[in-house]
Amino acid sequence: MGDITEMEVDAIVNAANDHLWMGAGVAGAILRKGGAQIQTEAVAQGPIQIGDAVVTTGGDLKARHVIHAAVMGQDLTTDADKIARATRSTLMRAREIDARTLALPAFGTGVGGFPMEQSARAMATAIREYLDEHPDVFDKVLLAVLDQSAAQTFQRLIHGSGN
Residue 112 amino acid letter: G
pLDDT at 155: 85
Taken in order 19, 23, 29, 32, the sign of the CA dihedral is positive
Assess if residue 108 is contained within a domain.
yes
Range of the domain at 154: 4-158
pLDDT at 2: 86
- Listed as own residue / partner, the contacts of 127-134 with beta carbons closer than 8 Å and 24 or more positions apart are 127/87, 127/91, 127/158, 128/158, 128/160, 129/88, 130/87, 130/88, 130/91, 134/91, 134/95
pLDDT at 25: 86
Assess if residue 163 is contained within a domain.
no
Assess if residue 79 is contained within a domain.
yes
Q: What is the pTM of this model?
A: 0.94
pLDDT at 160: 64
Q: Count up the domains in the chain and report the number.
A: 1
CB 143 within 8 A of CB 113: no
CA distance 8 to 142: 11
Q: What is the mean pLDDT of each run of 10 residues along the chain (163 residues)?
A: 93 97 91 97 98 98 98 93 98 98 94 91 94 94 88 81 47
* Greatest Cα pair distance in the chain: 41
Assess if residue 85 is contained within a domain.
yes
Assess if residue 18 is contained within a domain.
yes
Assess if residue 61 is contained within a domain.
yes
pLDDT at 161: 47
Instruction: Please state whether beta strands 11-17 and 140-143 pair in parallel, antiparallel, or not at all (unpaired).
Output: unpaired
CATH of the domain at 107: 3.40.220.10
Assess if residue 129 is contained within a domain.
yes
Assess if residue 122 is contained within a domain.
yes
